[in-house]
Amino acid sequence: MERSPVHSHVIPDMQDWPVNKLYSNRKAFVKELAEFTIKRLMKQPSEEIRNKIARAAYLETIRIKNEPWKADLPDEMSFWKKIKKELSDHELDISKDRVNEVNEDLLKKIVYRYSEEIVGGFKPSTFKFARRFLTQFFKVIFNTAWSIGKGTMFGNRKELQDRIKVYGYVDELRSLMNKGSVILVPTHFSNLDSIMVGYALDQVVGVPPFTYGAGLNLYNNKIVGRYMNRLGAYRVDRRKKNKIYLETLKAMSNLAIQKGTNCLFFPGGTRSRSGQLETKLKLGLLGSAVEAQRVLLQEKSNKKVFIVPLIIGYHFVLEANSLIHQYLKSTGEELFIPPKSDESRRWTKIIKFAWRYFSKSSEITLSIAPPLDVLGNRVNKNGDSIDNKGNTLDISGYFMKDGQINGDFQRESEYTRRIAKRITEDYHEFNIVMSSHIVAYTAFLIHHKNYPHLDIYALLRLPETEFGISFNDFCEKVDLIKHDLIEKEKEGKVNLSEEIHWDTEKLVKDGIGNIGLYHDKNPLGINKDGNIYTQDFHLLYYYYNRLNNFDLSL
């Protein structure tokens, strides 16, 4: 897979960016979102609507008591008490028209409140500031030893761009910017993902920013909240589980897509706790994409909705330690015994980690898979859907019944499952294997084969001194995995980074050096006797999992 060069912006004027147009009249969009959501909810039976309102009031009251945030509005409790009171005041109303009138009135109050909370904004001036700030920030994070040797702390923009490597179908992605709405669906491993992807899309790929959901908890910090409000993000409160809120949130995505806004969301729903590439996706927002395409067809619009999978590759993940412990706790329950934490050395660790960031080199890969339509068909640069035989498809026929395009929940649910399956397949096919991935996979596989009678939790409980292998023997094992991967690359089942094709000894040293760049306890290292060792089986298992679904063996 060929690395992408740095591109100029496909839409140079920020005023013409879709996200800027979406939020140019925020007040009008909030109103449109609320009315769109209310109209959808009011199609349900009056008793069902009433139950949804009562349930929302009940759950919100519990949330406010048990999990308050600084970002919450100050009148939260009084608002929901009023909703409850109005519900009880009208319990004896028996007129159907009156019930519908009360339901709609209460829904308006709730949905308008949610819509105002969810809808974000975009300011070109703030985006320009963020661009400059992130350039300096990432220069520090991915600083090279060469730069320090030259006596500069920050390096230059070109060196930074060398650290963030973009591969894949960049030209296709750029060409679709004026042909409809592009929905980018990345894998999710770190809290850095959103800003990393956003920066790379702006500075390397040259496409306008995408609107995306940002957790409301981020807005607990007023400074962060102020900037998030102006960078295209919309707010997502994962504490809110009631149907009215979730419907409003889905409507936000649906309307934005219909209006031609490019959207980014993580279909896995959260960061991968295990370190594996996602195999199961959340279907809600993908369903919004399918519905938005159907609505555009009903309106006889020539705009299409495109889905573009993106696979993020890190040598190390900042949160790997806590993520793998969360995963093992949830899957192993009593079988998992968490290691003791060392809080006394917390600040020492931070200083040590910071120095490693500043003094070593690392990189991130972003692999852009081929664009898809909402049915899972490949799409060419012109936005045409292509079938398996290379023929152009008219997707409108997939939304027709009795000669008319109409909504069909069961049919669109099947299309949503189909596109989700295609995305996870592309995550694996267009994943880029890095040197750190192959050494971690090989090391843990060796450990597992040494104790075939133990389950994973027993393996992780063994002392790290139980693992050790000579450098030469380890290289032989890595070579076997390497050749297996090269064969899979020839078959089009995976992509390999440049260093996988290096001499195996050089590959091993590069992988071990990169995986040990950040963590206080080294997942993998080479001791003075030339033997491979580990200081943390949990971390090694986390990084092993990146290739766990690729059917590789020794």
Question: Tell me, what's the pLDDT at 153?
Answer: 46
Q: Let me know if residue 328 belongs to a domain.
A: no
Tell me the two tokens of residue 239.
């504490």
Picking from 118, 150, 171, the residue at the C-terminal end of a domain is 118
Confidence of residue 358 (pLDDT cuts 50, 70, 90): very low
| Domain with 128 in it | 121-314+341-418
> What is the average pLDDT across 534-543?
96
| Percent of the chain clearing pLDDT 70 (strictly above) | 90
Confidence of residue 65 (pLDDT cuts 50, 70, 90): very high
**Among 250, 367, 378, 365, CA closest to 307:** 378
Residues 57 and 200 in one domain: no
Instruction: State the chain's mean pLDDT as an integer.
Output: 89
Residues 163 and 263 in one domain: yes
Distance between first and last Cα of the chain: 26
306 within 8 A of 183, measured Cβ to Cβ:
yes
Question: Tell me, what's the pLDDT at 516?
Answer: 81
Q: Let me know if residue 240 belongs to a domain.
A: yes
> What is the average pLDDT across 449-476?
94
Q: Which one has a higher pLDDT value, 375 or 350? A: 375
Residues 436 and 540 in one domain: yes
492 Ramachandran zone, left/alpha/beta (phi>0; psi -120 to 50):
left
- At a CB cut-off of 8 Å and minimum separation 6, what does 163 contact? 138, 142, 144, 361, 362, 363, 364
Residues 199 and 55 in one domain: no
234 within 8 A of 194, measured Cβ to Cβ:
no
304 within 8 A of 296, measured Cβ to Cβ:
yes
Q: Let me know if residue 3 belongs to a domain.
A: no
**Cα–Cα dist 142/159, whole Å:** 9
Picking from 100, 118, 136, the residue at the C-terminal end of a domain is 118
> What is the average pLDDT across 484-501?
94
Q: Let me know if residue 327 belongs to a domain.
A: no
**Cα–Cα dist 331/139, whole Å:** 38
Q: Is 410 exposed, middle or buried (0-12, 13-18, 19+ CB in 10 A)?
A: exposed
Confidence of residue 168 (pLDDT cuts 50, 70, 90): very high
Q: Let me know if residue 43 belongs to a domain.
A: yes
Residues 281 and 378 in one domain: yes
403 Ramachandran zone, left/alpha/beta (phi>0; psi -120 to 50):
left
Residues 29 and 42 in one domain: yes
Please report where in the chains the tokens 């519908």 appear, as a residue: 100
Residues 57 and 44 in one domain: yes
Picking from 118, 153, 170, the residue at the C-terminal end of a domain is 118
**Cα–Cα dist 479/504, whole Å:** 6
Tell me the two tokens of residue 494.
């995976």
- At a CB cut-off of 8 Å and minimum separation 6, what does 401 contact? 408
- Evaluate if residue 106 carries a pLDDT over 80: yes
| Percent of the chain clearing pLDDT 90 (strictly above) | 72
Residues 156 and 289 in one domain: yes
Question: Tell me, what's the pLDDT at 139?
Answer: 67
> What is the average pLDDT across 352-360?
49
Question: Tell me, what's the pLDDT at 242?
Answer: 96
Confidence of residue 146 (pLDDT cuts 50, 70, 90): very low
Describe the chain by its helix, strand, coil percentages, rounded to 5. Answer: 55, 10, 35
**110 — phi, psi (to 5°)?**
-70, -50
Tell me the two tokens of residue 282.
């959340």
Q: Let me know if residue 10 belongs to a domain.
A: no
Confidence of residue 140 (pLDDT cuts 50, 70, 90): low
Residues 98 and 176 in one domain: no
CATH of the domain at 219: 3.40.1130
Residue by residue, DSSP assigns 391-454 as -EE-GGGGGEETTEE---HHHHHHHHHHHHHHHHHHHHHT-EE-HHHHHHHHHHHHHHHHSTTS
Residues 395 and 357 in one domain: yes
Q: Let me know if residue 426 belongs to a domain.
A: no
Give the number of domains in the chain.
3
Output the 3-class SS for 120-159. CCECHHHHHHHHHHHHHHHHHHCCCHHHHHCCCCCCCHHH
Residues 408 and 307 in one domain: yes
- Evaluate if residue 361 carries a pLDDT over 90: no
- Evaluate if residue 343 carries a pLDDT over 50: no
Residues 127 and 76 in one domain: no
**Cα–Cα dist 531/510, whole Å:** 15
